Amino acid sequence: TPGIRPLVAGNWKMNGIGASLDELRMIGDGFMRGLDAQTEALVCVPATLLSRAAEILSRTPVRAGGEDCHAKESGAHTGDISAEMLRDAGATHVIVGHSERRTDHGEDDATVRAKAEAAWRAGLVAIVCIGETNEQRQAGQTLDVLSRQIEGSVPASATSANTIIAYEPVWAIGTGLTPTADDVASAHAHIRTRLETKLGAGARNMRILYGGSVKPSNAVELLGVDNVDGALVGGASLKAADFLGIAEAY
Ligand code: PEP
């Protein structure tokens, strides 16, 4: 989208131990070698790796992010991590409402919205994930699902500075399947229109990432689609060569 600097964001999910940070070091080095002029880069890592990741990336243009946060700032929530804690560990961004959270932990739109607001409270940018399941797609409900998720998951005071949208068709995540460029174009155009209706003209500059089986070989096609302002990359973000290969699509 004209005027929007693309973002290539990684999502390591429940992968990675200390040794994996070598790949992160290589990602940081790759962006230091000049990719940063075209694109912004972020890698969201498990909370156990966050402070080390942030330290490794601190001398590079690449940012470190969290993969989820609790809506509250602190308290009796064993095992949970607040946005403030992510921020303290060096995060600048946090993913909220990933389909795996929605499925594995029963997160609904209201929960996701509260988490986005928690991210802002801590000074983090929220990456709000939306996307239809295969069943919804087969039933022709894709655009309706996206409308409903934008209505429910994106806070009304979202701006292009504090929020990024990630369109991730659930059936394309980790499957090697991707929508056609035409399908991506129609979904992203729809998301843009709905965001503008909800948030006003400010949504014109809000980044809308595509996510779901992005790899170097399909990045040029997928990231070249209108209203695609970057990628959210799962599996391919674990390998520096793949992640950098995707960023090179710009
Ligand atoms: C994701 O889970 O955010 C994702 C896009 O995964 P993958 O790239 O592995 O499909």
Q: How far is the CA of 92 from the centre of ligand 1 (A)?
A: 20
When pLDDT is cut at 50, 70 and 90, the band that residue 233 belongs to is very high
Residue 37 has pLDDT above 70, yes or no: no
The phi and psi torsions of 247 (rounded to 5 degrees) equal: -60, -30
Annotated binding site: 11-13, 174, 213, 234-235
Asked if the model's pLDDT at residue 250 lies above 90, the reply is no
- Overall residue count recorded for the chain in this entry: 250
Ligand 1 centre distance from Cα of residue 118 (Å)? 23
Pocket mutation for ligand 1, best pick of 7, 11, 101 (most atoms within 8 Å of C-beta): 11
State the Cα–Cα distance between residues 149 and 68, nearest whole angstrom. 17
Helix (H, G, I), strand (E, B) or coil at 11: strand
| Atom of ligand 1 minimally distant from the CA of 95 | 3
pLDDT of 2 reads: 83
- Output the pLDDT for position 166: 98
In contact, 64 and 50? CB cutoff 8 Å: yes
pLDDT score of 59: 93
Q: Does the residue 1 lie in any domain? A: no
Q: Distance from the CA of 96 to the center of ligand 1, in angstroms?
A: 14
Cβ atoms of 134 and 103 closer than 8 Å: no
> Average of pLDDT values for 48-76?
97
Q: Indicate the annotated binding residues for substrate.
A: 11-13, 174, 213, 234-235
Mean of pLDDT over the chain: 96
pLDDT at 96: 98
List active site positions: 98, 168
Considering the domain boundaries, does residue 14 fall inside one?
yes
Contact 113, 103 (CB under 8 A): no
CATH number of the domain encompassing residue 88? 3.20.20.70
Structure letter (DSSP) for residue 73: S
CB atoms inside a 10 Å sphere around CB 84: 19
Number of domains the chain contains: 1
| Element spanning 54, H or E | helix 47-57
Q: ipTM for the complex?
A: 0.97
3 state SS of 196: helix
What lines the ligand 1 site, CB under 6 Å?
11, 168, 173-174, 211-214, 232-236
Choice from 12, 127, 173 to test ligand 1 binding pocket (greatest atom count within 8 A of CB): 173
Is 100 among the domain residues? yes
Would you state the pLDDT for residue 33?
Answer: 85
Which residue CA neighbors atom 2 of ligand 1 most closely?
Answer: 234
Note whether 229 and 209 are within 8 A (CB): yes
d(CA 115, CA 19): 30
CA distance 188 to 190: 5
Q: What percent of the chain has pLDDT over 90?
A: 94
Instruction: Please check whether residue 201 lies inside any domain of the structure.
Output: yes
User: What is the C-alpha separation between 197 and 31, in angstroms, rounded?
Assistant: 36
Tokens 């969290």 locate to 66
* Inside any domain, residue 198: yes
Contact status, residue 220 vs residue 249, Cβ threshold 8 Å: yes
Residue 144 placed within a domain? yes
Q: Strand pairing partners for 165?
A: 128, 208
Structural Rg of the chain based on CA atoms? 17
User: What's the domain range around 101?
Assistant: 7-247
User: Is residue 225 assigned to a domain?
Assistant: yes
Ligand 1 centre and the CA of 75: distance in Å? 31
Residue 35 pLDDT class (50, 70, 90 cuts): low
Give the pLDDT mean for 88-105: 98
Domain assignment of residue 2, yes or no: no
**Quick check: 36 pLDDT over 60?**
no
pLDDT band at residue 139 under the 50/70/90 scheme: very high
pLDDT tens, position by position, 202-218: 898 999 999 999 999 99
